[in-house]
Amino acid sequence: MNLSKQSIRPNIDNHKTLPSSSQPDSATAGSGVDRQKPRQWEFHWASIAPWLAAVVILWVMSSGLWIPCPTSQHRSAPAVIATTDIDTRHAVSGGSPPQGPPLYGAYHSRERNLPQHNLNLALPYPRRAPRNISVVSEWGSYLQEMILDAYLAYASERAYVFDNYTLEREGAEIISSNGHHTPARIPLSAFISGPIAGAYMHAKNVPRAVSREFYQSVCPESDRVVIDTRKIQASLGAKATVSQIIDRWVTELHSIKSRCVELAENSPPLFGYEIMNTDRVLDVFPALSKSPILARFGWSPLVLHEFYKNVGYFASSLGWDEPDLTDTSTAPLRGLLVLHIPRGDYGTSCHDLDPEYSQPNSFAGLNNFRELPDKYLLPKLNHHSESTAEIEMVRKYCLPSIPEVVRKVHAVVRHAQHITRVYVMSDAEQPWLNELKAALSAAHEWAHGIATRHNLQLSPEGQFVAEAVDMYVAQRAEMFIANGLSSSTSSVVMLRMNNPDLSPADTHFW
């Protein structure tokens, strides 16, 4: 049995239609209870049953509960865990009940039911994730830091403690963010699968990851060893590489006998921006790529479901009938070019790069692999810099204009006529994306068109993991042009570099 697959298979059987109950005639026969004949004025239910059934069906369809079966001409990807369990008892910030955003209750339940959370089995030796990175980090940064935290736990033979992707730790389940109702806490298993999310580790002497909720239930505060990271980090020096940091912390964790170890929430993270933004992260990649943490990293059944539902934008045919939502394929999507062009607040952040972390000749950490073709000289900016030329140089790399995007795309695909479709991975507004699509279409013929996230048909649950869907598409794209200063780009580059079927020469930066 493939335990890794088994642990992430959605429990679809629980949602099958139950057989109708049997009629009570046999139960009442011979019971001594006399049935009276109906009076003349009573209704004969059999005569009105068809009309009543029609009314019920119309009501169900109008209420949004009707789920028609797709025809053979419009087959969809297999269903995933149903999460229509919006709990109106949890008030939205501001007082009104949630109307749209899901609470992912089935995913939370599945995490609670992981076998390692069964107290009747051998208790693992958990350690907590270093800090609440999800409260302050966007998904790209969160993913990279989480992968390294999990790798440290793996190297120290302790169970990694995973957490929700958290916008707000306490309070309402639904919050208001940028004028939209958003889940405050999304379970990790809605984003990813594999050992980080509790699947089988495939490694001797390394227990499976456990949830933060489980850790807190089996590790009372009196049993926890809480470590401030500052003292040990200071002993390593400011230029320590990620491998050096991990080696030092493995030694420290091996010296602690307590089964419950955590790093203080108010202490600096081990793998924060100041190191993940530099090439000091690269030396851990050879060992990380061979570990179950990265080798068995996968996307969630939800992310895969959204991908296959929209696969026509990414490939002409994948040769599947019923795709396996427990298996993350990494087969390249031939003919697809993905463009990562984050906009959002990049207009500000491009001009406000922190001088403490910016450095010459460097993009964001994992974008510095020597095998990658694009290596640009970034100026050392500071908050007092008045050099328009320096600021403009950085701007071209992290916030390219539409003409700059078109020129770069032309330079990359001019000798690759088999690239016939484009997917734009961007949070830009629709008018800007429409202008970009028009410019790309005018400069080059794309036989299978140009798509953006606005074209995707996403479920309510899928809308809040859309960035993960984008990253999965970019991970598999034959060609990728992206923002070298972006942590999301860096995460995609890590996954692409871990795929021997993709050439590093096909990963570019603006």
Q: What value does the mean pLDDT take over residues 101-116?
A: 94
pLDDT at 82: 28
The string of pLDDT tens digits covering residues 168-178 is 888 999 998 87
252 Cβ neighbours under 8 A, 6+ residues apart:
227, 232
Mean pLDDT calculated for residue range 367-374 = 95
- Is residue 433 very low, low, confident or very high in pLDDT (cuts 50, 70, 90)? very high
- Res. 378 pLDDT band, cuts 50 70 90: low
Residue 272, pLDDT score: 87
Cβ within 8 Å of residue 380, ≥6 positions away: 355, 358, 359, 360
CA torsion through residues 160, 164, 166, 172, sign: negative
For residue 113, what are the CA distances in angstroms to 110, 123, 261, 503?
5, 15, 23, 40
HEC string for 151-217: HHHHHCCCECEECCEECCCCCCCEEEECCEEEECEECHHHCEECHHHCCCCCCCCCCCCEEHHHHHH
- Is residue 374 within 8 A of residue 479, CB to CB? The reply is no
Residues 425, 341: contact at Cβ < 8 Å?
Answer: yes
The pLDDT, as a whole number, for residue 237 is 87
Mean pLDDT of the chain: 78
Instruction: Report the range of poorest mean pLDDT among 34-48, 93-107, 329-343.
Output: 34-48
- What the chain holds in terms of domains, given with CATH numbers, is 105-295 (no CATH), 301-509 (3.40.50.11350)
pLDDT at 179: 82
Q: Return the number of other C-beta atoms located less than 10 Å from residue 236's C-beta.
A: 14
Amino acid 169: pLDDT: 87
Average pLDDT over residues 80-87: 28
The mean-pLDDT minimum among 51-60, 81-90, 107-116, 357-366 falls in 81-90
Residue type, 317: S
Tell me what pLDDT residue 348 has.
Answer: 54
Does 77 score more than 90 pLDDT? Answer: no
Per-residue confidence (pLDDT) for residue 346, from 0 to 100 = 58
Residue-wise pLDDT tens digits, 3-38: 333 222 233 333 333 333 333 333 333 333 333 443
Lowest mean pLDDT among 112-121, 130-139, 178-187: 130-139
Whether the CB-CB separation of 53 and 61 falls below 8 Å is answered with no
254-291 tens-digit pLDDT: 999 998 999 988 888 999 888 988 999 999 999 999 99
Q: How many CB atoms lie within 10 A of CB 44?
A: 8
